[in-house]
Amino acid sequence: MEGSERVPLGNKAARVDGAPDKKELEALTRELLTQLTDLQDAFHADGRHSLLLILQGRDASGKDGVIKSVYGAFNPTGVRVAAFGPPTALELRHDFLWRVHQVVPPRGMIGVFNRSHYEDVLAVRVRKLAPESIWKERFEQINHFESMLHANGVVIRKCFLHISQDEQRERLLSRLDDPRKNWKFRVEDLDDRALWDDYTEAYRDVLSKCSTPSAPWYVVPSDEKAVRNYLVAQMLVDTLQALHPTYPSMQPAVRDAARNFT
Amino acid sequence: MEGSERVPLGNKAARVDGAPDKKELEALTRELLTQLTDLQDAFHADGRHSLLLILQGRDASGKDGVIKSVYGAFNPTGVRVAAFGPPTALELRHDFLWRVHQVVPPRGMIGVFNRSHYEDVLAVRVRKLAPESIWKERFEQINHFESMLHANGVVIRKCFLHISQDEQRERLLSRLDDPRKNWKFRVEDLDDRALWDDYTEAYRDVLSKCSTPSAPWYVVPSDEKAVRNYLVAQMLVDTLQALHPTYPSMQPAVRDAARNFT
């Protein structure tokens, strides 16, 4: 059995058996978000690292939802959100890492990518936008790129928001009925659903080939939004706490100047 | 009397007589923030305009506080925060509008500048970093620039967060005692306080020369944080409502595709 086949991405894996109920999870998540607010302040002051969360997932898997619900806890000044749609004409004339490299968060900042360079081994592969000889090389290129970022202070975490086929169906249908959401749909979004199994295979390769100690992938069961938000928030709290962010000391010259302060 | 002398920037103008009490204001502000969340969603979908709030004010006047408290209501995906410190070596080799132009929010986005090109007629003037012949030209250059942005869909609002000398003193002293805040201080921050009256004069010129119908300045009494947040939130609600943001219709092709949706 190849490594990639062992990654469980069936419909069952989109739920957590025996999870606490929604209300309890939401209360736990609120506590985590308060911790995130405090941790971010120290992380920004500390300035040794940046944090980059990469969100991938099928349509309606909750990428926007995570950014709104979890990243909403952060002070907007310290946050950089980048969303990657189909590449522009200019972006296509560059290597596939060019556009993401430009928006990697600088030290002190907390970034999130809504889709990312992983689309170049997902959509590009499944929709046959580049030959296999091209995209097959990219797993290693991505690992080298992320490893370089890690060595330069970027803490990388990657979440695949995993939903079941039934849940996606429900969400897409309800979005199509919602005038605040249905304007966003392109016909291609619906096409992707027909390619479900091809995407599963592509995701399995991503998860098995590009999960490294310095930039691990997390498969987040995402059929229940409360579970999803709780798990992402908990992972971010753990990640930030492990860095032990500390406030720098006041410059001695400031203390002197403050003595004469009127 | 010159126009600029009529701008009331004394200590009294930093408070609102007979304002509701803090608790009441905070409750009113929470309602406004809920409205902002909804308005942003429609504004983003509508995509005809971008919104740019320019925040200026002395040290400790609450620029960061407004971003955290008011901009925290927005979905982070639709927000762009830009903070301008002393220009870098590269920025100094460009015209003074170059660095701000690059981060003007694109249509659908809500941006905020924490300090801005106005520093080039404030700090630059007061600290004599450029001769008068240079900075005097900039009021008109700024008006032309902002007018061009307005004509291209950027809705501009500008807030001067006005605090009194006593309030600034209290806030600076309490920050100097707070290890989560005192690391940020540079000696120059304290120097600026000694130049209070020079800055007042410079602000008067900014407010009288660069307040235009398409990019008005608001003097926000900011000694009370609850008053400040309420006033900024109310102004943003009014601004967004006046644009009557509406959701686009679903593409007919999507409705057709959805009929065969499984």
Q: What is the mean pLDDT of residues B176-181?
A: 93
Q: Which of A67, A173, A254 sits opposite B185 (nearest CB)?
A: A254
Model pLDDT for residues A179-228, shown as the tens digit of each residue: 999 998 888 778 899 999 999 999 999 999 999 999 999 999 999 999 99
From residue A105, how far is each of A7, A51, A152, A243 by CA, in Å? 30, 7, 12, 17
Q: Give, for B219, the enclosing helix (H) or strand (E).
A: strand B217-221
- Cβ contacts of residue B124 below 8 Å, gap of 6+? B130, B135
Nearest CA in chain B to A41: B180
Q: Which two tokens stand for residue A123?
A: 């959509």
- DSSP element (H, E) containing A199: helix A196-209
The residues facing A219 across adjacent strands are A160
Closest residue by Cα to residue B134 from B171, B96, B184 = B96
Query: Residue A52 contacts by C-beta under 8 Å, 6 or more apart in sequence?
Result: A104, A105, A111, A112, A113, A149, A154, A155, A156, A157
Closest-CA distance, B175 to chain A, in angstroms, reads 11
Q: Rounded to an integer, what distance in angstroms lies between the CA atom of residue B50 and that of residue A173?
A: 30
Local confidence band at B7 (pLDDT 50, 70, 90 cut-offs): confident
Q: Quote the tokens at residue B247.
A: 């959701």
Give the nearest chain A residue to B183 (CA atoms).
Answer: A250
Residue numbers in B near A64 (CB within 8 A): 75, 77
Closest by Cα among B183, B113, B86 to A44? B183
pLDDT at A2 over 50: no
Q: Complex ipTM above 0.85?
A: yes
Chain centroid to Cα A95, Å, comes to 21
State the Cα–Cα distance between residues B215 and B149, nearest whole angstrom: 10
For A18-41, how does the pLDDT look when each residue is reduced to its tens digit (9 = 90+)?
Answer: 999 999 999 999 999 999 999 999
What CA–CA distances, in Å, run from B6 to A107, A179, B9, B10, B209? 44, 49, 9, 11, 12
The CA–CA distances, whole Å, from A212 to A48, A115, A140, A198 equal: 21, 19, 11, 23
pLDDT of residue A1: 38
Distance CA B146, CA B156 (A): 8
Instruction: Tell me the pLDDT tens digit for each residue of B31-72.
Output: 999 999 999 999 999 999 999 999 999 999 999 999 999 999
Q: How far apart are CA A200 and CA A10, in angstroms?
A: 9
CB neighbour list of residue A237: distance below 8 Å, 6 or more residues apart: A32, A35, A36, A39
User: Would you call A190 and B247 a contact, using CB atoms and an 8 Å cutoff?
Assistant: no
- Write the residue in B169, B173, B183 that is nearest to A247 by C-beta: B183
Integer distance in angstroms from the first to the last C-alpha of chain A? 74
Pick the CATH number of A16-246 from 3.40.605.10, 3.90.1170.20, 3.40.50.300, 3.20.20.10: 3.40.50.300
Task: Classify residue A123 by its DSSP letter.
Answer: H
Whether A152 shows a pLDDT value over 60: the answer reads yes
CB contact under 8 A, B173 and A81: no
Question: Looking at chain A, which runs of residues are DSSP E strands?
Answer: 50-57, 79-83, 110-114, 154-162, 217-221
Residue B1: predicted pLDDT: 37
Whole-number average pLDDT of chain B: 94
Outline where DSSP puts E strands in A19-163.
50-57, 79-83, 110-114, 154-162
What gap in Å lies between CA A144 and CA B156, rounded to an integer? 43
Residues of chain B positioned with their CB less than 8 A from the CB of A251: 183, 185-187
> What pLDDT score was predicted for residue A103?
98
Taking only the tens place, the pLDDT of each residue in B98-119 is 999 999 999 999 999 999 999 9
Give, in order, the Cα–Cα distances in Å from B204 to each of A94, B13, B86, B123, B124. 48, 13, 22, 13, 15
Q: Which one of A166, A247, A255, A259 makes the best mutation probe of the B interface by having the most chain B beta carbons within 10 Å?
A: A247
Contact across the interface for A254 and B173, Cβ inside 8 Å: no
Cross-chain CB nearest to A72 (options B76, B114, B253): B76
Q: Would you call A67 and B45 a contact, using CB atoms and an 8 Å cutoff?
A: no
Place of tokens 């120290």: A42
Record: contact B75-A79, CB cut-off 8 A: no
Kindly list the residues of chain B whose beta carbon comes within 8 Å of any beta carbon in chain A: 41-42, 45, 64, 67-68, 71-72, 74-77, 79, 81, 83, 112, 114, 169, 172-173, 176, 179-180, 182-187, 190, 193, 247-251, 253-255, 257-258, 261-262
Q: B168 to chain A, minimum CA–CA distance in Å?
A: 10
For strand B110-114 and strand B154-162, is the pairing parallel, antiparallel, or unpaired? unpaired
8 A C-beta contact, residue A217 and residue A53: no
Across the interface, whether the CB atoms of A76 and B83 are under 8 A apart is answered no
Instruction: Give B2: exposed, middle or buried? Use CB within 10 Å, 0-12, 13-18, 19+.
Output: exposed
Q: Which of B172, B184, B191, B259 to mutate to test the interface with A (most CBs of A within 10 A)?
A: B184
Handedness of CA B190, B191, B193, B194 (dihedral sign): positive
Which chain A residues are Cβ-neighbours of B179 within 8 angstroms? 247, 250
Give the model's pLDDT for residue B20.
94
Q: Tell the burial category of A84 from Cβ atoms under 10 Å away from its Cβ (0-12, 13-18, 19+).
A: middle
Q: Report residue B30 as tokens.
A: 């929470």
Confidence (pLDDT) at A261: 72
Q: For residue range B219-233, what is the model confidence (pLDDT) as tens digits? A: 999 999 999 999 999
Tokens 């062992």 map to which residue?
A6
Both structure tokens of B98: 């170059």
> Which chain B positions have a beta carbon within 8 Å of A68's beta carbon?
75-77
A45, B183: Cβ pair inside 8 Å? yes
Best of A41, A177, A250 to disrupt the B interface (most B CBs within 10 Å) is A250
Question: Residue B4: is its pLDDT beyond 70?
Answer: no
> Structural domain boundaries of chain A?
16-246
Band (pLDDT 50/70/90 cuts) for residue A5 is low
Do residue A79 and residue B77 have CB atoms under 8 angstroms apart? no
> What is the C-alpha radius of gyration for chain A, rounded to an integer number of angstroms?
20
CATH topology of domain B3-259: Rossmann fold (3.40.50)
Between chain A and chain B, the number of residue pairs with CB atoms below 8 A apart is: 121
